Amino acid sequence: MSEVILVLGASGQIGRELTLKLRNLYGNKNVIASDIREGSKEMIASGPFEILDATDKVAILTVINKYKVSQVYLLAAMLSATAEKYPQKAWSLNMNSLMAVLDIAKEKYIKQVYWPSSIAVFGPTTPKKNTPQHTVMEPSTVYGISKLAGEFWCNYYHEKFGVDVRSLRYPGIISWKSKPGGGTTDYAVDIFFSATEKGSYECFLSENTRLPMMYMSDAVNATIQLMKAKKEDIKIRTSYNLSAISFSPKEIATEIKKHIPDFKITYQPDFRQEIANSWPQSINDSEARKDWNWQHKFNLTLMTEEIIKNLKNKLQKEHL
């Protein structure tokens, strides 16, 4: 029997691309996109779309019953930088949406849940390099606190109620089709748009701030691979470390210059610098590689080539 999937937060950076990929795999009518915001034209044209508040359990259940949903991907969240400005709002969105979906799974309306965690669960006391799966976790951001609490709720619901909830600690996710909003790793997306449109970029992190990152197609593939893995292969029910590449603004600028030789970068660190300083520089994801055969495809060079090629094409088309 084919799965029927509900994506909460389908208009966000990851939601947009994940939803379209899921529609390719499971059939358009079997993937219900939802968000509190209107969906993109492409998303509304390709399958069902519902306006939905991810914290409203009754509304979510109504949609689940309407379409006979079997899996929920909960991607609605407030990211690290915005969460520092609106701590209360971030906590209630990030936690209430998770609790609503976990309860729905506990009550057996759905069979499986996906919920992303983040490198933000780590903090200043965590070892910065090759950060292990099991280590010191003392996050200093509201976003990190919400993700760490969420991880333990996932594990609790799995242990106590048998809920099949699966999770990945995403690094910064880089895409050219959709922009992120309100994260500390957003610079690594903005830099490509600014480089191809203006030839320059003012970076809000300092030049040697190294952070773990990943190209969107790797993140989408990891997510789907995790959800398709056999239950017995999923050994970690808090959230898996997941990694692909690590770089600093200076290193990515050097890579961009190979394609846009006149590209200029300047640095004007703001409050996001402190958030970045509290996070790891690189992640050890050997458990994901061992348990369900995770492998990334894109390194920094390949990713940069791919993004710049696509953004240049897009710009050309817009100017035709």
Give me the active site residues, please: 143
CB of 13 to ligand SER, least distance (A): 9
**What is the rounded distance in angstroms from the CA atom of residue 296 to the CA atom of residue 273?**
27
**What is the rounded distance in angstroms from the CA atom of residue 149 to the CA atom of residue 169?**
13
What are the φ/ψ torsions at residue 111 (nearest 5 degrees)? -100, -30
- Name the helix (H) or strand (E) containing 190: helix 187-198
CB of 296 to ligand SER, least distance (A): 17
CB-nearer residue toward ligand SER: 179 or 297: 179
CB-nearer residue toward ligand SER: 110 or 219: 219
CB of 170 to ligand SER, least distance (A): 5
Residue showing the smallest CB distance to ligand SER in the complex:
183
CB-nearer residue toward ligand SER: 146 or 185: 185
CB of 122 to ligand SER, least distance (A): 11
Half-sphere exposure of 106 (CA within 13 A, CB side): 16
Determine what percent of the chain falls in helix, strand and coil, rounding each to the nearest 5.
Answer: 50, 15, 35
CB-nearer residue toward ligand SER: 118 or 196: 118
CB-nearer residue toward ligand SER: 52 or 78: 78
CB of 227 to ligand SER, least distance (A): 19
Q: Return residues touching ligand SER (CB under 6 A).
A: 79-80, 118-120, 143, 170, 172, 183-185
**Residues in Cβ contact with 10 at an 8 Å cutoff, skipping those fewer than 6 apart:** 16, 18, 19, 33, 34, 35, 39, 43, 49, 75
- Name the helix (H) or strand (E) containing 114: strand 112-114
CB of 113 to ligand SER, least distance (A): 19
**Number of residues in the chain:** 320
CB-nearer residue toward ligand SER: 77 or 104: 77
Cβ contact 170:147 at 8 Å: no
Tokens 């050309």 locate to 316
Instruction: Report the chain's C-alpha Rg in angstroms.
Output: 19
Reference 137, options 118, 127, 123; nearest CA is 123
Reference 34, options 75, 92, 89, 93; nearest CA is 75
